[in-house]
Homo-oligomer: A and B are copies of this chain.
Amino acid sequence: MAKDMTLLWGSGSVPSWRVMITLEEKQLQGYNQKLISLQKKEHKTQEVLDINPRGQVPTFKCGNHILNESYGACFFLENQYKSQGTKLIPDSPDAQALVYQRMFEVLTLHHKTVDVFLYNYLVPEGERHDAAVQRNREALATEIKLWEGYLNKTDCCLAGKEFTLADVVFFPSVAFLFRLGLSRERHPVLAKYYNSLKDRPSIKATWPPHWQTSPELDMLKTI
């Protein structure tokens, strides 16, 4: 069935990575895929725009269904392949509530990370302010502390002992933070989570290729 799926993705794109991890966990390897260069702005080409009018990655077709929103794609795949591969949404109300709560909180972490990472891209030169940069960094630091508190209270995974959709969407954000230079020494709880999952087959198989050949950045070193 995976042969009926096509994913256009970007290396290091957190939303793309979420979908790729889900496809692995649901044993849907063998889908058609194309690596899109964000630097060359290939996400703004007609090939992408025909499926995804916002010109973003991931751009994902599953049969005739278009599921470009990463969360939408993850939910759809989990629902359509419920009994195949890893069960990503637990049945027990306790675990399920925590999965839903955490996975949508991840969007805030992601936005706060992007506000720091893409500041110069999002804000034209004449409109940049050091105070805004500082504010964005402080907001991200506060957000990271919140997640460390959450992780302190759980087992290996974000919503308990099992790997769930909460980890599918959270892990790429954590990996991105370390890629941007977040200190593992100053963030041991996050580092422990990262280390416990980085070699999971679904994650290893989908690791952003350019991260493997280029060094980590130092943007978040002082956070």
Contacts and interface: CB of A to CB of B under 8 A. Distances in A.
Contact size range, A: 35 or more
Interface in A132-170: 132, 146
Interface in A66-83: 66-73, 75-76, 79-80
A80 B94 CA distance: 11
Interface stretch (A20-28, A103-111, A195-203, A206-214): A103-111
A98 B79 CA distance: 13
Copies in the complex: 2
A127 interface: yes
Contact of A97 (B67, B98, B127): B67
Contacts of A70: 104
Nearest to A131: B127
A101 B53 contact: no
Contact of A100 (B53, B76, B98, B105): B76
Contacts of A62: 97
Interface string A44-71: 0000000001100000001111111111
B146 A53 contact: yes
Contacts of A123: 132
A66 to B, nearest CB: 6
A129 interface: yes
Given A93-B80, A94-B65, A100 B124 contact: no
A11 interface: no
Nearest to A73: B100
B101 A68 contact: yes
Nearest to A71: B104
Nearest 7 A/B pairs, CB to CB = A69-B104, A65-B97, A72-B100, A72-B104, A127-B129, A72-B101, A71-B104
28 contacts: A53-B146, A54-B146, A63-B93, A65-B93, A65-B101, A66-B101, A68-B101, A69-B100, A69-B101, A69-B105, A70-B104, A71-B100, A71-B104, A72-B97, A72-B100, A72-B101, A75-B100, A76-B93, A76-B97, A76-B100, A79-B96, A80-B93, A80-B96, A107-B107, A123-B132, A126-B131, A127-B131, A127-B132
